[in-house]
Structure 1
């Protein structure tokens, strides 16, 4: 049994994204509605996902566009307030993702009790957000320094809206990343949020790093979840749960519960 099964109590876990509205300091923050509105929207989203039966939830600042690679204090503070106000209502395992700053994600996890974080911990990229560098040695040491040793690290291995600066085979990257960074999971994505993860790439990753949890990170939906979950150890989902299948819309409890019922039925027929 891997750590994700132990955490969620199931095989092939579904981690649902709870997207937070733009917050103070973000270009599209609604000052008139203020933070009370942001908190209430997060509360509604969390309730919808939990009532629909997802296995875990991950809070992220999805609407902090355009993203920063060195996130400012006000964003982390706002996210901590939101999660702090909701903590008594969270009934399932939860993680955090401060886009796109791995160290700030760890800080937020340490402050809120989150059990896992997702981020880019390794690699150098040419991205829509400029030249993007990482320092896995510094980041992992930072986790220890802030007392977050038990927080699981989910490494994004296929960058969204970016490309590796070095020309390397993705399987080579996966193997070296696991050897150097010792991630708790690798997240395999499509090109952008909502874009399906290539099933062939998922198979390559499972073969390349058989002892590491591999997650399908984007584009899992009602049409492809069987194929994705037959390969991956779990999935990160969001768009498929939203009204009209659009990332910017609210999650729909009927869509969540309907799809989760189908996923749970599918899991019953699998081993491990």
Structure 2
């Protein structure tokens, strides 16, 4: 089986918000501009020294559940392959909304390393409606593709969703079920993009599983030092952009300020734990 690229302890995965893809309402028809923008962000992240990048079709508003537009999938696959040529570290992908099999198939074709998954276990209500648990389908497809090196990181009690269907389940219950269903790691978020997660959720997560626990929202220069000891990985996107807004342009100064603090704090934490 193919070996996976290694994500370091307390890794930083920087989000690349790909411009609107074919079929989405905001798509402008300029595929070259979409590719160039994604690769430009990648180059900036690479220069800043991030551990990993995560490709997402964040501009495809409003999101729809699969099947996604075939031309959109083809263009995202092309972007992923170009990113792979330029970046030696681990690369992940998420295709919204809950297009988890599509993410996996792109990752397998483009030699990526992990996918971010919505509704791995149980169901919740997203912006486009009810999203059902997908663990069985994802892992069966992963085996069919001979891509078991591709890690599956699953959101639990995911942001931008209603969890009234599972109101009787605590986040630790969902993590236990995800682990039982063979997930590779879990992602803890707040209710919305840009807001930091509840520290109690992270403590519960670390107490209930030995799997990697990632933070998927809300990290910035004002809180990263206090959250670094609480998780094994950090997916960051909004803070690196103009005014810290999710879909604005990347601002290298904000990125570099964050990275300086992140690298120093991580080094101190890892050194003190030796």
TM-score in terms of structure 2 length: 0.91
- Asked if the contact 1:11–1:267 (Cα under 8 Å) also holds between the matched residues in 2, the reply is no
Is contact 1:76–1:98 with CA below 8 Å preserved after alignment? no
Equivalent residues in 2 for 1:153-232 (5 A)? 153-164=152-163, 165-167=165-167, 168-179=169-180, 181-209=181-209, 211-232=210-231
Which position in structure 2 is the counterpart of 1:107? 105
Confirm or deny: 8 A CA contact 1:15 1:236 kept in the other structure: yes
Query: How many angstroms does 1:127 deviate by?
Result: 2.4
Q: CA deviation at 1:163?
A: 2.2
Query: What is the rounded CA distance, in whole Å, between the counterparts of 2:249 and 2:91 in structure 1?
Result: 19
Structure 1 stretches of 5 or more lacking a match? none
Q: Which residue of 2 aligns with 1:98?
A: 95
Q: Quote how far apart the aligned CAs of 1:88 are.
A: 2.0
Aligned length: 264
Question: Structure 2, unaligned stretches of length 5 or more?
Answer: none
Structure 2 residue aligned with 1:249: 248
Is 1:258 matched up with 2:257? yes
Q: Secondary structure at the match of 1:7?
A: coil
Deviation at 1:75, TM superposition (A): 2.2
After superposition, the C-alpha distances for 1:187-245 in whole angstroms (9 at most, x for unaligned) are 00111221211112111111111x11000110111111012111011110011111221
Partner SS for 1:122: coil
Give the Cα–Cα distance (whole angstroms) in 2 for the partners of residues 135 and 253 of structure 1.
37
Farther off after superposition, 63-72 or 40-49: 63-72
Q: Give the Å deviation of 1:114.
A: 0.4
| In structure 2, distance between residues paired with 1:193 and 1:26 | 21
* Alignment of 1:17 onto 2:18: no
Task: State the Cα RMSD in Å.
Answer: 1.7
Structure 1 segments of 4+ aligned residues over 6 angstroms from their partners = none
In the alignment, the residues of structure 1 paired with residue 79 and residue 59 of structure 2 have an alpha-carbon distance, to the nearest angstrom, of 14
TM (normalized to structure 1)?
0.92
